[in-house]
Amino acid sequence: MIKQRLFTPGPTDVPPDVLVEMAKPIFHHRTSRFKEMFKAVNADLKKLLFTSGDVLTLAGSGTAGMEAAIACACPRDKKTLVVQSGKFAERWVKVAKTYGLQVDEHKVEWGLGITPEAVQAKLATGQYGAVVLVHSETSTATACDLEGIARVVKSTDAILIADCITSAGTLPLKQDEWGVDIVVSGSQKALMLPPGLAIVSVSSKAWAVMDKITPPCLYLNLKAYRKSLADSDVPYTPAITLIRGMQVALEMIHKVGIEKLWARTALLAKATREAMKVHGLTVFSRMPSDSVTGIMYPAGVEDKPFRNKVLRDKWGASVAGGQGDLEGKMFRVSHMGYVDPLDTIGLVAAIEYAMADCGVELEIGKGVEVAVKMIKEFV
């Protein structure tokens, strides 16, 4: 029997305490019990995102949250700048076009992020009402300078909508201080829950823009969620079980401290990258995200046999493959959520064993030694 460990960048592993809470009998949502729980969850979400603004919770994936933000907050009389830097950024281009927005698709080489200077040059024309980007592009394991970009957008009339689905709870993110107008996240990443919840945090600047827009949607209309939030409620049937689990997950996060978790995640990500480099393996991104690491395959290693037959079935570690043009060329490892130093050290060992099983000549334990020393210095 091999114990299975989940290192995919969503869904991530769910802590036992969260699973136990979600297994308890369900209760009705139009009750004071639900409202009290939801109020506590919202307070903890605000703490997580460093915001005093409204945090809305939708039953749906992160994509639902991003679609709601784009549909409700992008002005129709101005252009929307969508930074296309990977597979998920491509999705936001499609969403914006679906809603008939004037889209300026700004393509960035995969493995890089747009610079604040490039955004500033675009906004200087006065043609844009919104900027949509991905903070941590999961498909390329790349992070952009969200703080710097937010500083630029903050000084204009445009709003900034950030896909923080694999950054919230993992990478440094201070919504109010930086000036990010809409932050979107999802339950199945650093929040350590199953898929099914979208989190949308909205600034007063974004609300001022949205109040002038009649969005062409019903369920995704964020104004309805704001109205219900005033009474610690939601407009439509909530995912009660997931919200119940989120209360426990957030309590776990804040018990450790979010900034301490940022630092620990950064260390585990760096230890993983350096352990791979010592074997001559290439880290894909030139602006690597600490949420997820993308490793290019050496010559002769086939993607699915490596990930499924060897790494997963033989050694018990599940990682994700590449997407788009990177399919079959790379595997991706998550550092988000319920992952600790021993998990990371074990994964590095499993990758070494799996590479050797696939015919790669390497020194077993060399990468583990690098990871162990880095992690020991931190602890």
| In 114-257, alpha helices (H) | 116-123, 146-154, 175-178, 204-210, 222-229, 240-256
Residue that terminates a domain, selected from 255, 272, 306:
255
For residues 317 and 177, membership in a common domain is answered with no
pLDDT at 48: 98
Euclidean distance between CA atoms 108 and 321, whole angstroms: 21
CATH code of 303's domain:
3.90.1150.10
232 and 138 inside one domain: yes
Q: Which residues of 43-71 are buried (b: 16+ CB within 10 A; e: fewer)?
A: ebbbebbbbebbbbbbbbbbbbbbbbbbb
Listed residues 255, 277, 304: the one ending a domain: 255
Residues 239 and 354 in one domain: no
pTM of the model: 0.97
* Residues 153 and 98 grouped into a single domain: yes
Closest CA to 364 of 341, 342, 348, 343: 348
Q: What angle do helix axes 62-73 and 222-229 make, rounded to 10 degrees?
A: 100
Mean pLDDT, the chain, rounded, equals 97
Q: How far apart are CA 220 and CA 364, in angstroms?
A: 51
Considering the domain architecture, whether residues 175 and 34 belong to the same structural domain is answered as yes
CATH classification of the domain holding 57: 3.40.640.10
Tally of structural domains, the chain = 2
pLDDT at 239: 98
* Shared-domain flag, residues 69 and 215: yes
Residues spanned by the domain of 224: 16-255
Q: Are residues 53 and 188 in the same domain?
A: yes
Same domain flag for 119 and 175: yes
CA distance 319 to 323: 13
Residue-level pLDDT at 360? 96
Q: Are residues 100 and 241 in the same domain?
A: yes
Express each pLDDT in 33-88 by its tens digit. 999 999 999 999 999 999 999 999 999 999 999 999 999 999 999 999 999 999 99
In sign, the C-alpha dihedral spanning 122, 124, 128, 134 is positive
67 and 142, same domain (yes or no):
yes
- List per-block mean pLDDT (blocks of 10 residues) for the chain, which spans 379 residues: 94 98 97 98 98 98 98 98 97 98 97 97 98 98 98 98 98 98 98 98 98 97 98 97 98 97 97 98 98 97 97 98 96 97 97 97 97 86
Kindly state whether residues 284 and 374 are assigned to the same domain: yes
Instruction: Quick: pLDDT tens for 336-357.
Output: 999 999 999 999 999 999 999 9
Length of the chain, please? 379
Indicate if 51 and 146 belong to the same structural domain. Answer: yes
326: region left, alpha or beta (phi > 0 left; psi from -120 to 50 alpha): alpha
Domain boundary among 255, 285, 300: 255
* Pairing state between β 128-134 and 142-143: unpaired
